[in-house]
Structure 1
């Protein structure tokens, strides 16, 4: 008669415990992912009035979807579309529409603007190629790329694309060294930014090309680069929304439209 090998009793008892532990780990992982997805999709909504002003502007056509906002000069606008374009990535958890008003002055000068909602509302999760965004405005021949805050960090990566002419940063800086980029860079910051503080912007100079143009807007905080309300940890803005729009337009126009 053959003998049957029996597993030690202690080992037989260990298997159910391992299964319970595995289920608990899986449940915790699912709960964590679910919590992050809920968090990521609770965004800072665009303030209504500035969006309405853009919609009422006869010089601008607005094509809006959940993932992007495309603003182009209308055929009968005082300044016609000139072939320049800006792909602009929204900051973390900010609705793309929140940047429409602040960038609309540039559109009135002839530039097409494509404002992008990053994957999961966080630019660090963005994996799509730049061509997915430039394809939204096929008539543009000269592309710039930019972004606000975390959107600017991702824009630094896109800046190396052969299709890109230059880089625009709104209250942002690059995560790595791009001193050898070989393209013009414009860094616009706020004197009262509590997140991308003046000290952080000054420190970012070491990672940017030596000929980078730096513009600090007096009285601007982090959230004033868009229209989405207050942001925790930010400073207090003393510049009005119309004046902020004018200051951004004044900085962007000579940089993008040569």
Structure 2
């Protein structure tokens, strides 16, 4: 098979998933590379989806061991026919649980043919200066691994005459997929509490960047201290992107959970690839 063009379809609230997808695409060495960032709801509603490229990289982060609920309905509207795809999930150094299998299965059901799959590590969305989790990842070594992955995918495809002749990819995971218990707890808590990032008005400059980067459009652009708790997906895009550090998660129960998570995630994990 000859692959001359590639597109990367990514959902990436904090930018790390997009970076991994870009590095994989770079490693493939194609002259034509397109990034289709579907993080924003407005893009998913109004964007133009060009799946004419020879191969599509589909990349999402892992939330609570699963593909993020925010992006699943969009992915299930896609429709192609026997389009080669690379399936990638990016997780915060805990576990990716059933997310890679779930994304693989969704893609397969929409007409994509997985030719390679990978699980990469990035700084956890909940990582912060006093509780770092996979700090500064993806790092140069992760970038190198992602590029090598892209190169190996191309080597594999050169040996295959057609997509029909390719052996199916097997990835870890369980079906039925594991219930995202912590996410369910958050939804339950929100029946009585807001449980969203809070705004320090003394630091906030009302620049509006947090509302701009919010993938769920949960932040009021006129008053960024107002967050719709039923729309917020706790991706921390607002926290990570705030130039003045005005957005923080201050709930003590949440921060206690992050303390425990930091302990669990101390040992460095490496990317896993499936060719």
TM range (shorter): 0.3 to 0.5
Give the structure-1-normalised TM-score.
Answer: 0.37
Larger Rg: 1
Relative to total residues, which structure has the larger helix share, 1 or 2? 1
Higher relative contact order (CA 8 A, sep 6+): 2
Give the structure-2-normalised TM-score.
Answer: 0.36
